[in-house]
Structure 1
Amino acid sequence: MKLIGFLLTDCEKYVVSVVRVDKVSHSYGSHAALYRVCLRLPVGATALLGPNGAGKSTLLGLLSSALRLQRGSIDVDGLTPGRDSRRYREAIGFLPQQFSVPHHLTCAEFLELSAWWRKVAKRNRKDVVRHALRAVELEKRAATKIGKLSGGMVRRLGIAQALVNSPKVLLLDEPTVGLDPRQRAGLRDVIVDLARSQTVLVSTHLTEDVAAVADRVAVLDQGRVVFDGDLAEMAGKPAPTAPDLDRAYDDLVGDGEAV
């Protein structure tokens, strides 16, 4: 199967977008990590795929405002990381692949600390903590020390900390990494629920995750978007399975390793 996908030479896309990435390029010295990347992210879950070095981490860093934008523009409902830095950060929730948690705190204490750090008003903190715990199905663990949680629960707590500021956009970097199949299934259910009302971008190397949670998929290769569309378009068939997506991915990036 020869799959072309959407090779973006401009930034006109047909989706109603919450996040707009327009002609974004980023370099580390002489190495170009991203080149004229254009994406439109609507409400729902979009999976981000690509080989090692494709630029996925750089893109997430720019979207989260952890990296300074060099060229092009990014906005979330009209907010930009440069002109509206505080309000932009308030619109973003981010779960990095590697994150540390204080094992001596309870889940509720950690989330209250996260809410304080994100400048949530004191009068609202208990409510947003309760909502975040409920969203990731950890409300019964509010008083549990983090050190007593399973790996899957810690990843859920990581998503909860990204929710305490009621963001419009969730950025999840490899959220199911290191989890067993049952834990992955539970976390996928959480992501599907969140994506009903929020824009969720999930960087993953597991096509099982893509098939289970994503409405759309964007594929990066050598810093360029080589596909941006729904799963059926990528696989060339309705309701594609993980093996279907594996084959389509291989057609797009050749011998690259999906990570």
Structure 2
Amino acid sequence: MYLVESKGGAIACMLLALFFLGTWPAIITLLERRGRLPQHTYLDYTMTNLLAAVIIALTFGQIGDSTVERPNFFAQLSQDNWPSILFAMAGGVVLSLGNLSTQYAWAFVGLSVVQVISSSMTVVIGTTLNYFLDDRINRAEILFPGVGCFLLAVCLASAVHSSNSADNKAKLSSWSNDNETGREAALSAVSEEAIPSKVTKDLENGNVPVRKAKAGTATFLIELEERRSIKVFGKSTFIGLSLTFFAGVCFSLFSPAINLATNDQWHTLKEGVPNSGSTQIIL
């Protein structure tokens, strides 16, 4: 089983993880705004995640000789490490719930607000729990000022959401969004130059032209509502914020669960069973 043991390798893995964590929300949000149903997107995401986990377990999990301290993937299948398996599964459940919640939260409150709040909550709660799980091995005077900065980011992101919501209401105040007449008028206001010669169709049904208006305008907001798969007009933004905070709590529990599965701080494994038994499950 291959393990990263150097600080340089760990930092490289962290940077690679940050790159992927920063790109997949934008891609999924773009798909939803173009009409892709969230349940279809999440099904694709889940199947790809499972496929990647199997491939990594059968490759990195089988590199090198299997030892008692570092058993390979197939050797771990016969070990009595059910406590670690259950912790890892619990981490997977909360991670999936968080991912599913953010898909809907992005539609209600926007990508920038959701990511800032949920990620900051993950750092604040997750770091605190891991600090005590790891028997306070890190220096609190260095660790928690950074955590406080993320807590401040949660407050600022909430303020940004309030400002964005008020701005959108002001832009849409002159439009009648409760009937089809108002929507047709909004769509007809788009200039011919804004409509491409080859009109793109809706990704799911292929029957709704994708028009382009100037970003940030009332026309743009109404066109986006017509095209997107999750309709948000007339719905309380409190729903989006609730989903965002719920996702943040779920994400924050993922890391402690994986920490328990990997390092067995609660001593749930039987004597002689190595702590690394859940590494492949994490992947």
Range class of TM-score, shorter chain? under 0.3
Larger radius of gyration: 2
Structure ranking higher in helix proportion? 2
Q: Which has the higher contact order (CA 8 A, sep 6+)?
A: 2
Structure ranking higher in strand proportion? 1
